[in-house]
């Protein structure tokens, strides 16, 4: 599904990725496990073209993302969902508009279809479209914000899901709920997933493969 070979990245004099080789298998959840600051998040930022590799290749759907131009990167991002560690919701938009944002930006869809997809995505993460959709991010708990971010990640029905430390900052009960939700969505949507984690319990609960 995704082949990473010889991926290297330095920031100034600090070498963060030292020739990474990694195969992401279709339909499975691969957990990239390790301590904070070890370059795990840097790997998935390369997969979506947020960072440019110093050397190496990242092959997805026949495209080498490490050498892709902006047009190719845009097409790749249409097939990849990325749940940022912070959730990355826009404070100035209510939850409905936050989740609708990628649909409005990337696709030419009628408003009725956008509403349908947003409501379906909210329901898939156990949030009420009628009550939660009208609220703003600062009106939600940490767990609800994470679920809203997850709804925005799945709304375009991506083939690949990237989760960057999805339970960081959450209490144990909420962390367990998010982990179960990730497993449920993996089974429901039949996606290929990459999960970044330093939590060994979360890693073994969600993962099929480990790196």
Does residue 46 carry a pLDDT above 80? yes
Q: What is the pTM assigned to this prediction? A: 0.89
* pLDDT score of 167: 87
* 48-98 pLDDT tens trace: 999 999 999 999 989 999 999 999 998 999 999 999 877 689 999 999 999
Chain-centroid distance of CA 113 in Å reads 23
Query: Total domain count for the chain?
Result: 1
CATH number at residue 15: 3.40.50.300
Digit-coded pLDDT (tens) for 7-34: 999 999 999 999 999 999 999 999 998 7
What pLDDT is stored for residue 85 in this prediction?
A: 76
Q: What is the pLDDT of residue 169?
A: 83
The mean pLDDT value for 117-129 works out to 94
C-alpha span between 83 and 89 (Å, rounded): 10
Range of the domain at 189: 2-210
Each residue's pLDDT tens digit, 27-44: 999 999 876 667 889 999
How far CA 158 is from CA of 31, 75, 143, 178, in Å, comes to 18, 11, 22, 19
Given a cut of 90, whether residue 202 has pLDDT beyond it is no
Q: Which helix (H) or strand (E) holds 145?
A: helix 142-154
């Amino acid at each position: 599904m995704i082949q990473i070979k010889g991926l290297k990245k330095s920031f100034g004099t600090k070498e963060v990725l030292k020739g990474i080789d990694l195969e992401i298998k279709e339909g499975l959840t691969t957990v990239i496990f390790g301590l904070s600051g070890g370059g795990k998040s840097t790997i998935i930022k390369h997969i979506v073209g947020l960072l440019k590799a110093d050397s190496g290749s990242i092959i997805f759907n026949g495209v080498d993302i490490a050498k892709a131009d902006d047009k190719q990167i845009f097409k790749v991002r249409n097939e990849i969902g990325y749940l940022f560690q912070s959730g990355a919701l826009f404070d100035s938009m209510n939850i409905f508009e936050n989740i609708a944002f990628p649909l409005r930006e990337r696709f030419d869809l009628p408003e009725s279809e956008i509403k349908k997809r947003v409501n379906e995505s909210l329901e898939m993460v156990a949030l009420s479209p009628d009550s939660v959709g009208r609220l703003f991010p600062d009106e939600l708990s940490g767990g609800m914000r994470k679920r809203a971010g997850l709804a925005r990640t799945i709304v375009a029905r991506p083939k690949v899901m990237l989760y960057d430390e999805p339970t960081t900052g959450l209490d144990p009960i909420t962390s367990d709920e998010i982990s179960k939700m990730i497993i449920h969505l993996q089974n429901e949507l039949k996606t290929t997933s990459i999960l970044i984690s330093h939590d060994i319990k979360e890693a073994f609960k969600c993962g099929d493969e480990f790196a």
